[in-house]
């Protein structure tokens, strides 16, 4: 099973949208269930978060490769599309 790291903050509206998008994507495509997500709340795991190169959350890493980093202007549909692209990239490896 492949694993990604997803950095988030509990009360971040973009992170809440990402969680919702992931649930929708998994219900739309069962292949995404094969991706294990290591959820990392950056304020609780600051040392790990500081070891990665990103600024905004949510951010997705597969190994050392950053697959997605949200921006403050990202709409729900943009977040969902970007997460779908990240999932597809992970599954293609």
pLDDT in tens, 35-67: 999 999 999 999 999 999 999 999 999 999 999
What whole-number distance in Å separates Cα of residue 59 and Cα of residue 66?
7
pLDDT averaged over every residue in the chain: 97
Closest C-alpha among 73, 13, 25, 12 to residue 4: 25
Nearest-5° Cα angle at 88, 84 to 39: 65
pLDDT-derived band of residue 32, with 50, 70 and 90 as boundaries?
Answer: very high
- Asked whether the predicted pLDDT for residue 16 surpasses 90, the reply is yes
Tell me: pLDDT of 74 over 90: yes
Residue 1 has pLDDT above 90, yes or no: no
Our count of domains for the chain comes to: 1
pLDDT above 70 as % of the chain: 100
Q: The domain spanning residue 60 has which CATH number?
A: 3.40.30.10
What range defines the domain where residue 26 resides? Answer: 2-92
């Amino acid at each position: 099973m492949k694993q990604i790291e997803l950095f988030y903050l509990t009360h971040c509206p973009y992170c809440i949208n990402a969680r919702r998008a992931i649930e929708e994507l998994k219900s739309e495509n069962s292949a995404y269930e094969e991706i294990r997500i290591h959820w990392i709340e950056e304020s609780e795991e600051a040392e790990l978060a500081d070891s990665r190169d990103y600024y905004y959350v949510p951010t997705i890493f597969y190994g050392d490769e950053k697959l997605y980093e949200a921006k403050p202007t990202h709409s729900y549909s943009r977040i969902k599309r970007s997460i779908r692209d990240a999932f597809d990239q992970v599954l293609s490896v």
